[in-house]
């Protein structure tokens, strides 16, 4: 296997690449990202590249397998740029895959692509509706549309769309560290729920998708989600109950002033969904089930955040840069 990984310096891209290198399943690994690489030259060939650049096509030449992780996940104030990376960047990756006859393409999608499904139990076959109120969900739905077109044009390509819920764990080094620290402060009358999955379980799902002859959408999630009511006591808080529209407006007000990382872009999905999932098809296809509880994932993330905070790190909510917010976290840190 000759493998190329976009977003190789990101949270999950890095963990996935580490697993690939460790297992030696590829004879060649090319890692592509804007952020500097943490890998030795002997482990993979690193190329510093924006996925929107025309030169990306040459970077993918000679690869038979591509795993695409390069997305902006944290809500940016510059939504035009966020759209450009998520949608046009993916179009550029797809065009390069077509040009070079890539045989396997695995794309990191998200449960956000489903948008607002309210009380429905979501499966792999649930339509991706997106939601205009959540720009991230909107871009992920547009990416799913692009993948539909790609699949129609390239029926011989093994296309896998991996849709994880909110990924947390001991090596989380993103904006989620600051966002998770705010959990339990507010809730709605209906009751908000948070769908979480452990980073190791997500990496395992991606690795099995790489090494097994599966295709189509995969849903990487627990069947139920965490409620704010059960989380608040664990965090030593009593949440303030607000109407949903008030909470969404308050989050946008605070986000616009750099006081929080959690705008309504993500919060609307939490407020309006019950986050119930049935990943039976994924479990059968991959022989996979979560090995870690959602609480384990959350607690590990909060412990990492506390450790960084104790070392003097500030979770600055005003950051708005293309490669996202990534806190310095060594591979040995944050382990349970």
Ranges 47-61, 84-98, 247-261: which has the least confidence: 247-261
Q: Tokens 């379980």 — which residue? A: 201
Give the chain's mean pLDDT.
Answer: 91
Residue 49 burial class via C-beta count within 10 angstroms: exposed 0-12, middle 13-18, buried 19 and up: middle
Whole-number pLDDT of residue 317? 67
Tokens coding 8: 């190789």
Whole-number pLDDT of residue 333? 47
Per-residue confidence at 291, pLDDT binned at 50, 70, 90?
A: very high
Per-residue confidence at 76, pLDDT binned at 50, 70, 90?
A: confident
Catalytic residue among 114, 136, 277, 327: 136
Going along the chain from its start, the domains and CATH numbers come out as 2-310 (3.40.50.720)
Tokens coding 54: 């025309």
Q: Which residues touch 96 (CB under 8 Å, ≥6 apart)?
A: 56, 57, 59, 60, 102
259 compared with 206, residue with greater pLDDT = 206
306-313, Cβ contacts within 8 angstroms, sequence gap of 24 or more: 307/333, 307/334, 308/177
Ranges 46-60, 92-106, 179-193: which has the least confidence: 179-193
Give the span between the Cα atoms of 58 and 323, in whole angstroms.
22
122-129, Cβ contacts within 8 angstroms, sequence gap of 24 or more: 122/219, 122/276, 122/277, 122/278, 123/219, 123/277, 123/278, 123/279, 123/280, 123/281, 124/163, 124/216, 124/217, 124/218, 124/219, 124/279, 124/281, 124/282, 125/217, 125/281
Q: What is the pLDDT of residues 158-169, one digit of tens each?
A: 999 999 999 999
pLDDT at 92 over 70: yes
Residue 224 has phi, psi (to 5 degrees) of -115, 170
Whole-number pLDDT of residue 233? 85
Whole-number pLDDT of residue 323? 62
For the segment 193-206, the average pLDDT, to the nearest whole number, is 97
- State the Rg of the chain over Cα: 19
Per-residue confidence at 270, pLDDT binned at 50, 70, 90?
A: very high
Nearest Cα to 7, choosing from 59, 42, 54?
Answer: 59
- Half-sphere exposure (Cβ direction) of 108: Cα atoms closer than 13 Å: 25
For the segment 226-237, the average pLDDT, to the nearest whole number, is 88
Q: Which residues touch 52 (CB under 8 Å, ≥6 apart)?
A: 84, 85, 88, 89, 92
For the segment 7-20, the average pLDDT, to the nearest whole number, is 95
319 compared with 129, residue with greater pLDDT = 129
136 has catalytic annotation: yes
Whole-number pLDDT of residue 33? 94
pTM above 0.85, yes or no: yes
Paired sense of beta strands 45-48 and 65-68, if any: unpaired
């Amino acid at each position: 296997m000759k493998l190329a990984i976009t977003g190789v310096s990101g949270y999950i891209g890095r963990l996935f690449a580490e697993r690939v290198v460790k297992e030696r399943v590829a004879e060649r690994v090319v890692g592509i990202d804007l952020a500097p690489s943490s890998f030795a030259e002997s482990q993979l060939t690193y190329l510093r590249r924006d996925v929107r650049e025309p030169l990306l096509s040459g970077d993918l030449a000679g690869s038979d397998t591509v795993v695409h992780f390069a997305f902006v996940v944290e809500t940016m104030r510059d939504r035009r740029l966020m759209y450009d990376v998520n949608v046009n960047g993916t179009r550029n990756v797809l065009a390069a895959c077509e040009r070079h006859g890539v045989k396997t393409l695995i794309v990191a999608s998200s449960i956000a692509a489903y948008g607002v499904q309210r009380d429905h139990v979501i499966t792999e076959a649930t339509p991706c509706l997106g939601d205009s109120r959540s720009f991230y969900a909107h871009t992920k739905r547009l990416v799913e549309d692009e993948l539909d077109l790609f699949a129609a044009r390239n029926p011989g390509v093994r296309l896998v769309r991996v849709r994880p819920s909110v990924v947390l764990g001991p090596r989380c080094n993103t904006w989620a560290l600051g966002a998770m620290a705010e959990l339990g402060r507010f809730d709605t009358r209906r009751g908000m729920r948070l769908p979480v999955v452990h980073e190791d379980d997500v990496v395992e799902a991606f690795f099995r998708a790489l090494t097994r002859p599966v295709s189509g959408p995969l849903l990487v999630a627990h069947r139920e989600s965490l409620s704010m009511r059960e989380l608040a006591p664990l965090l030593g808080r009593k949440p303030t109950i607000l109407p949903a529209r008030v909470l969404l407006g308050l989050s946008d007000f605070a986000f616009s002033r750099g006081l929080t990382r959690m705008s309504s872009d993500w919060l609307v999905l939490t407020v309006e969904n019950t986050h119930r999932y049935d990943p039976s098809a994924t479990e059968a296809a991959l022989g996979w089930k979560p090995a870690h509880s959602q609480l384990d994932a959350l607690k590990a993330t909060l412990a990492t955040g506390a450790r960084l905070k104790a070392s003097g790190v500030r979770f600055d909510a005003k950051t708005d840069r293309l490669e996202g917010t990534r806190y310095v976290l060594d591979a040995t840190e944050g382990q349970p």
